Amino acid sequence: MAYIKNIIKIEAAEAEKLKSVIFPARHLCILPQDVEFRQIQCKNPSSCEISDKVESKVRIFTSKLTFKSCEQINSDDIPLAYRVTTADGCRYLIGRDHRPFPVLTRSELMPSSHTDSSLIAYTVTWSDVIKPLQIIE
């Protein structure tokens, strides 16, 4: 099991806008300049856990990005892809322009105490034959 640790920035874009992504090497990608990502305001740091398993002789990677935010994020209508940035400046792409798309789930807590957090806990789960791609310039 691997982790992408100390995520300090999470951004989302419509997955269909990633059609012209370039893949120069395994687990690397170059994003087109015209893709517009919207930053999600979240509590730092966030994390991404990456696990793998073999199904029918094919390795499947499952990436699970977890973060907390006060924003209401809606991905019901349009599939989203996510760009995450770590504290050391590395950027990763979670999702592509085709299925399987990342799935966003949320857990809203209504705290009983004024001192408890009322942030929304989000989980982005993406299962594919590749792990999150490191973005290079």
Domain count, the chain: 1
Structural domain that includes position 43? 2-135
- pLDDT (average), residues 70-97: 91
Q: Give residue for tokens 């995520």.
A: 7
Return mean pLDDT, the chain: 90
> Which pair of structure tokens corresponds to residue 80?
């989203």
Distance between CA atoms of 86 and 4, rounded to whole angstroms? 8
pTM flag (> 0.85): yes
pLDDT reading at 116 higher than 70: no
Query: How far apart are alpha carbons 135 and 92 in whole angstroms?
Result: 5
Question: 17-31, 32-46, 112-126: which range is least confident on average?
Answer: 112-126
Q: Give Cα 16 to chain centroid, integer Å.
A: 15
